[in-house]
Each structure stands twice: as C-alpha cells, then as structure tokens.
Amino acid sequence: MPVNLAVPDPASLQPVAGVRLGIASAGIKKPGRRDITLIELAAGSKVAGVFTQNRFCAAPVTVCRQHLQGGNIRALVINTGNANAGTGEQGLERARQTCAAVAELFGIEAEQVLPFSTGVILEPLPVDKILPALPAAKADLTPNHWSEAAHAIMTTDIVAKAASVRTEIAGKAVTVTGIAKGSGMIHPNMATMLGYVATDAAVSQAMLNQLAKEVADVSFNCVTVDGDTSTNDSFILIATGQAGHAEIADDNAAAYAVLKAALSEVSIKLAQAMARDGEGATKFMTVKIEKGRDHAECKQIAYAIARSPLVKTAFFASDPNLGRILAAIGYAGVADLDVDDIQVHLGDVLVAEKGGRAASYTEAQGAAVMKEAEITIRVVLNRGDAHATVWTCDFSYDYVKINAEYRT
C-alpha cells in the first residue's frame, strides 16, 4: 500500500483559468477504463516541457519536442495502456494522426497539439480505439476535472497524484494545480513520469522554459523508485496568463521567486507521491547528503544509496544491515572521498563515523528506526557546503510480482 499517501480530495484541486480537462474511455487495455485525457488551453497560453533523455524515447516525446518549437500550443492528449515506444516510423505517424484528430475537433493546427502516451512498450498505438473516443473527451471538458484526469493517467499507480496551491503576485491571486502519474520505471534523467502543472500566472516564454528546468531539478529529478529511466518521461508546465498581473520576464524579479516557489511546492508533492506509491512500497525514504564539495557529487552519492537493491530490500525487511549504505557511498564514483571524514545517520541515530561503526551505535537503535514507515538517511561528507536530497522507497515482494505480471 502507498506510504502515508491519501487520495487527493477533489475539492482541494483548484481550477486554473484558461484550462479545461475532459476524460473518456477508449478501452485501450481494459474495457470501460477511462484512459483518454484531453486538456484544452486558452488562446495565449504558454507551454514549456522537459523530456526523457532515454535514447529509445517514445514517439510522442519526439512529436512533442517538434511541436513545442512552434509554440502556440492549444491542446494536450494523453492515453494510458500503450506507450507508443519502440514503434519506429509507424509510431510517429500514429502520434501525428492523433494530433490531427484532436486539431480537427478544436479547429486548430495539428502542430498546436501535444501527444503523450504511457503503458506497454513495443506495441502499436491503437488509434482505431483512440480516435473514436476523442469527441467524448471533448464533450467532457470542464475546468474542474483535475481529479478525474489524475485518475485517468494512472497505470500501475494505486493512488492518483494531484496537488494545488494558491499564492499572490502583485496583488493578484494566482493558482497552481498539477497532476502526475508514476509508480514504477522511475528514475530521472530530466524529469520522471508524466507530469502536468498549470498556473494562471503571466510569464514570458523564456522564463517559463527556465522554470520548467529549475522546477524539475528540485522535484521530479529528485525521486527514484527502481533506477529505470522511462522512454516516455515528460514534464509539462503551462501558464495561461489569466491571473491579471504584469508578465514576469526577469528571473531576478520578486514575482519570479514567488511563482517558482509555488510551482516547486506542487511539483515536490507530486514527486514525493511517486515514491510513496512506488510499486509495492512499504517505506518512504529520504536520502540527504550534506557538506559535499558540490551539488553533483551529493546527488551522485544520494542516488547510489537510493537505487541500491540491497539497501532497499534491507529497509523492506526492517533489517539494520547498514553496511549496505556504506558500500553504496563507496561505489558512488566520487574517487577522492575520505571515508574517515564521513558521518552516517539513520533518523536521529549516528551509525558510522571515522571510517567505521560509531561507538555509540547499537543494533537496537537501528532496528527501531527501520520499523518506521518514513525514514531519513543522512550522510555528512564534511568536505564543503553543498547538499542534495533524493526520495525513494523500499523493494518488496510485490515489486517483483507487479512487474512480472505487468502485461497480464
């Protein structure tokens, strides 16, 4: 079961002026499953995105990158049940065919549509099922369907992932609302999963592009479930500009900091929800690396710990076999680490220092922390002022079962 993660209250998800969402069933993988989502954007909206760096990227990722270059995006279409990845030229053609069908519904150009897919890789996209479902999704459009959309984009997720915050810029109320999906095949190499965050703030295209990367770096790029970077990872940031304040065109402006904080808050909630809902997860783990030489080495060490199967299985068993953490630090690839300077903490308990077990540490202390549902691993390198945080989960029997049966 997800670790301390509740289904979001639909009433808590604030509509974003200029955004409407519609849901429909195409029966791509299961009959009756609501697996198609349309998102309509008001004229003048700006869109930015970051995508997977997996070289086997999915056809919709390629099409999205191409369409974003033209700007003036007016619609997004998302399907679950099929990733349209590893599908060659046919996959590209079917992604474009879907865009063309959406464009015809809205009276826009196909290049103004962004397509997204998630599900099984190496299977042809069933456009014969998707295209007939699009009119129903359009008829379902409403500003209040964030919760429905969060459910519709799920694959192996147990809990839908959505969040909203309200803030103020130049005396005007500003809303940020987002949804995401992700439970397995989660490891960032840009962002991770599918994530869509929208705001009614007014921001220039250049600043929105910058925000997309900065926000991803403090949220979706800080979570791992299993170390596998998906072929379809996409994070999309939308700004409709309907809040009524002057456009933010300078990253030194106070308004930029306010907006970045709100976007980051929503995105961090969504990213953490993925680790809490990791396939088969029973523990939510925060890995903090402190006093490193630079952020890169801190992140490198954090991920070595967070994606270690031996560390993750020990946490599932509540077994304080903490030498596995030391081993992960040691093989992380930071060649000049002085292990005598490193301190390792499990929760509030000092586990290791001066190259070995801390004199004050007892097995009973470690066992007590390991029984908790939420655990922090803190590593102090004592070689600088940099730091990094990564969120992950344990590996349980169910992780193997879920992925062994993924296509059944």
Q: Which residue matches tokens 């954007």?
A: 41
Q: How far apart are the first and last CA of the chain?
A: 20
Cα separations in angstroms, 134 against 105, 131, 152, 161: 8, 5, 14, 23
What b/e readout covers 220-243, taking b as 16+ CB neighbours within 10 angstroms? bbbbbbbeebbbbbbbbbbbbbbb
Please report the DSSP string for 294-354 in residue order.
SHHHHHHHHHHHHT-HHHHHHHHTT---THHHHHHHHTSS-TT--GGG-EEEETTEEEEET
Candidates 279, 273, 184, 179; CA nearest to 230 is 184
Candidates 26, 44, 131; CA nearest to 81 is 26
d(CA 186, CA 196): 16
192 is catalytic: yes
242: left (phi over 0), alpha (psi -120 to 50) or beta: alpha
Considering the candidates 118, 155, 192, 199, report the single residue annotated as catalytic: 192
| 383 close to 338: Cβ distance less than 8 angstroms | yes
**DSSP H helical ranges for 120-253:** 127-139, 146-152, 205-218
Candidates 132, 131, 18; CA nearest to 75 is 18
Q: Is 200 helix (H, G, I), strand (E, B) or coil?
A: coil
d(CA 267, CA 260): 10
Active-site residue set: 192
